[in-house]
Amino acid sequence: MKIELISSIKNAEYFCKDNFSDNSPFLRYSFFKLLEDSKCTNENSGWIPQHFIFKEDNEIVAFVPNFKKLNSNGEYIFDHMFENAYYQIGSNYFPKYLSGIPFTPVTRLKFIYSKNSVDQDKIIGLILKVVKEQNISSFHANFIDYKTSKKLEEYKFLKRIGIQYHWVNNSFSDFNDFLNSMKSRKKKAIIKERRFLKDHGVSFLTKEGDKVDERDIKNLYSCYLNTIEKKWSRPYLNFDFFKGLISAKNEKKILLISAYKNERLLGCSVHFVGNEILYGRYWGCTENVPYLHFELCYYQAIEYAIKNKLKKVEAGAQGEHKISRGYLPNLTYSNHWFNNEVLSKPIQDFLTKENKKTVEVADYLSKFSPFSENGN
């Protein structure tokens, strides 16, 4: 088996179209190609495509998505302490390698994508050989499932645990059925929030698939930029990316929810529809309206998931405020391999303590679940 680095997913188009797929709509050839075509993943953004392909008899047998990172933007695994540790000993942390989905904190079920069974040990060994030969500081696999995380630990990848907040569909018949599963006080709070918007004349329009047009995308992008600017942040995604979402290859995976008052746009949220999960990704507003964020990003998503019999809603990274709205703590996993023997041990000690604390925090937060068997 031979390993090669490719600078564009287009260089493995036919293999990836057939074999690059996972539980989410983000792990698709069309999504990674859109990021490239819209220039969201390039040297300027610090996300340079450097995907690993593996060949036998001159044919691609496996693919591992990978990026050469020049910064830590858009990763949702905050590693500034690693960068600082390298700086303290006079070493460069960048460039580093990262296997993950750009700007998207979604767990994937696979690390290696292949048509048939392949030698995982050999593939991981070949990747680390390249990392060493190219003197790359580190290799990171972000948002992978628990099973893959355990496998990577065998190769001295250090595990890091995080927390996200997910809503689970317990076979609810409708939104009221969901509300009736909650403690009385939490139920009343959600009803109050939703009633406030209704009483103030706010209405919602849901579009999906090919019903979403370029005007909708312009509205979404305008709201997205407005909210990014309010946070003193920078947009990772541009208009060409959002426009590309409504192409024929992506249209069935898009859910757009817009809020209006007297035909005046107040805000938008866009979600991606997976096989079993609805992924909330981007949102924005034109003006500050109480509870609008909760409605656009959480409640409308729950209604859609129930109606379409989806198992879960994942509403992005962070946010303890999601708990009272039915989104409970879930552990996430990432693994990190450092090409520096001096730093590996102290980083491992740090992560061991951090992971223990993270699990304790998740257990503690779970005690604040808004759900009750009797609704009291």
* Tens digits of residue pLDDT in 86-137: 999 999 999 999 999 999 999 999 999 998 999 999 999 999 999 999 999 9
Taking all residues of the chain, what is their mean pLDDT, rounded to a whole number? 95
What is the b/e burial string over 238-272, where b = at least 16 CB atoms within 10 angstroms of the residue's CB?
ebebbebbbeeebeebbbbbbbeeeeebbbbbbbb
Q: Give pLDDT tens digits for 149-179.
A: 999 999 999 999 999 999 999 999 999 999 9
Average pLDDT in the 278-306 region?
Answer: 96
Token pair belonging to 50: 């450097």
Residue among 107, 180, 175 nearest 146 (CA): 107
Which pLDDT value is given to residue 375? 46
- Residues 328, 37: Cα–Cα separation, whole Å: 36
Is the model more confident about 207 or about 250?
207
352: confidence class by pLDDT, cuts 50, 70, 90: very high
221: confidence class by pLDDT, cuts 50, 70, 90: very high
Least confident of 42-51, 136-145, 250-259: 250-259
Which pLDDT value is given to residue 248? 57
102 prior amide bond cis, ω within 30: no
Residue 249 pLDDT exceeds 70: no
Q: Is the dihedral of CA 224, 328, 77, 129 positive or negative?
A: negative
Q: Give pLDDT tens digits for 7-40.
A: 999 999 999 999 999 889 999 999 999 999 999 9
Residue 299 pLDDT exceeds 50: yes
Average pLDDT in the 202-216 region?
Answer: 94
Least confident of 50-54, 113-117, 256-260: 113-117
**185 Cβ contact list (under 8 Å, min separation 6):** none
All domains of the chain, ordered by start, with CATH? 2-163+330-366 (3.40.630.30), 170-310 (3.40.630.30)
pTM: predicted TM-score of the whole model, two decimal places: 0.95
374: confidence class by pLDDT, cuts 50, 70, 90: low
- Residues 333, 143: Cα–Cα separation, whole Å: 5
Question: Which residue is it, tokens 């075509």?
Answer: 37
- Residues 286, 227: Cα–Cα separation, whole Å: 8
Q: Give pLDDT tens digits for 96-110.
A: 999 999 999 999 999
Which pLDDT value is given to residue 27? 93
Which pLDDT value is given to residue 232? 59
- Residues 327, 294: Cα–Cα separation, whole Å: 12
317: confidence class by pLDDT, cuts 50, 70, 90: confident
Average pLDDT in the 262-271 region?
Answer: 96
